[in-house]
Chain A
């Protein structure tokens, strides 16, 4: 075997003789394969993730509102449940003596002889559900914030009737006051009974509770109210409906200054309740503590709130006002004093309360500040103050309130109008 020595040239020659290798496929076949692959790759690279992202966004869009409300509705649910299982403890925070706060209306003082029509219009405009109802007059009315409560000057020739109306969730009892023309020939009970059927609870965002499914008779001599229900009455359907009736009757009792309420079933003495058992006369729970007012928004956060009282024990009016800054989520009630408003209780004398706002607090003329002031006034009323003076506000006037003057506490909370 000879020694072989390869030169570069030999190698190059050898390499150039390497055979040609051909791809024998049809170009159309190749092109088709490429097209398929390119299509697939496109799909893989962006169509699928894009579709997934779109689907996720859609889901988020659908679920987000529900998720946000979920916590709240879960709370409500629990609340209703506990309402049904709980009995009298619940009454500590009940509203059954709302009318204590409204003693004034039992003997209305016709101090202000002139009725302010402007006031009435403003009242209308404050009610969004009213706005949609009827009344041409409100269209011309400015959107200036209007108070929600009944004040002395509203009373001229009018009688205030306060009805305890449950909200849609049967969580709160809302004291709603309506003004009716005073009729010297009729008793307050007669007015109360007549007006019962005119209430528009649904339009107010509350439970349709009146007229009561019972015959009411008033024994004027002994000041005893007899409540006569039919056999198929709805008030013992559940423990919560029994509890509601109890609260409502307690309100009526306070409102009309009754001595006693007798219970009847189609003329027979007593009512058989599913949970309370047989009861022949109504005895209100003795309640202690004070009523402090929170906001309830049955028609959404931008509507006029109801001011709903809760009964709680407080050492001082200062503690009570501090408690009003906290939401009562278990009752679905909102704080009635904004958290950023700070104040000191400066002086308490001769049934006069002086509240001095801190410099950082922003007290401006808008609806929410107005409603906060009303909540303060109503709570002050329950602590037996007659007037409240607000100092160091940024403005002199908020809605109808002149802050340079002492403010009189309202006669009743939550004035609403009846349809004509």
Chain B
């Protein structure tokens, strides 16, 4: 087996896979995408100059792969989206919750769903900063952004999440109350 692949696999495979999974929320797709990341990495490994750390370099490639995959999907995804009425701000739930998430407590499930409501940029920052616990500098490096852009995006993302979490809670509370009344 290729020594470069071996090394990268040991150091970063699960990180990259998890990042891709939270981006696309689909295990099979993430499996395909992580392979695409390796292909791009192996093709351009000689060009890796060490300006950035290996880790942020890999994350930047993973991010490009994820965005490319969104572009590819857009065609059929939009067709599906047209069937939904988005004016009610319904949380999209077209994919079943993966096992790992389904066994978690309600709040985790909720925030997992709310990730969909962020823009792609916001989601990138949330996943990198809070799930993978990259520093602001590392995130900026991976995304090719300035640190201040990371900070602003991160701030807005948290705000979006907060709003939707509350909206969600309130709705759920109402549902519960409704049930109580019936009883």
Listed in ascending order, the chain A residues whose CB lies under 8 Å from chain B are 1, 4-6, 8, 11-12, 14-23, 25, 27-28, 30-31, 33-34, 37-38, 41
Contacts and interface: CB of A to CB of B under 8 A. Distances in A.
Given A30-B35, A41-B39, A19 B100 contact: yes
26 contacts: A1-B173, A6-B162, A8-B158, A11-B158, A11-B162, A14-B111, A15-B131, A18-B108, A19-B100, A19-B101, A19-B104, A19-B108, A20-B18, A21-B30, A21-B98, A23-B13, A23-B14, A23-B17, A25-B31, A27-B5, A30-B9, A30-B34, A31-B1, A31-B2, A34-B35, A34-B38
A308 B11 CA distance: 88
B177 A21 contact: no
Contacts of B27: 21
A28 B1 contact: yes
Contacts of B31: 23, 25
Q: Tell me the dominant secondary structure on chain A's binding face.
A: helix
A416 B31 CA distance: 86
A11 B111 contact: yes
A355 B181 CA distance: 125
B35 A33 contact: yes
Interface string B148-168: 000000000010011001100
Contact of A1 (B5, B103, B177): B177
A41 B126 CA distance: 34
Given A21-B98, A28-B1, 19 more contacts: A4-B165, A4-B169, A5-B166, A6-B165, A11-B158, A12-B130, A12-B158, A14-B108, A16-B130, A18-B112, A21-B22, A21-B30, A25-B31, A31-B9, A31-B38, A37-B35, A38-B39, A38-B43, A41-B39
Nearest to B100: A19
B42 interface: yes
Interface string B1-23: 11001100100011001100110
A21 B130 CA distance: 15
Chain B's interface size range is 35 or more
A34 B112 CA distance: 30
A14 B44 CA distance: 37
Contacts of B103: 19
A5 B166 CA distance: 7
A12 B108 CA distance: 11
Given A11-B158, A11-B162, A14-B108, A21 B39 contact: no
B39 A6 contact: no
Interface in B87-112: 98, 100-101, 103-104, 107-108, 111-112
B181 to A, nearest CB: 13
Contacts of A21: 17-18, 21-22, 27, 30, 98, 100
Contacts of B30: 21, 23
A8 B158 CA distance: 7
B97 to A, nearest CB: 11
A16 B161 CA distance: 14
A38 B43 CA distance: 9
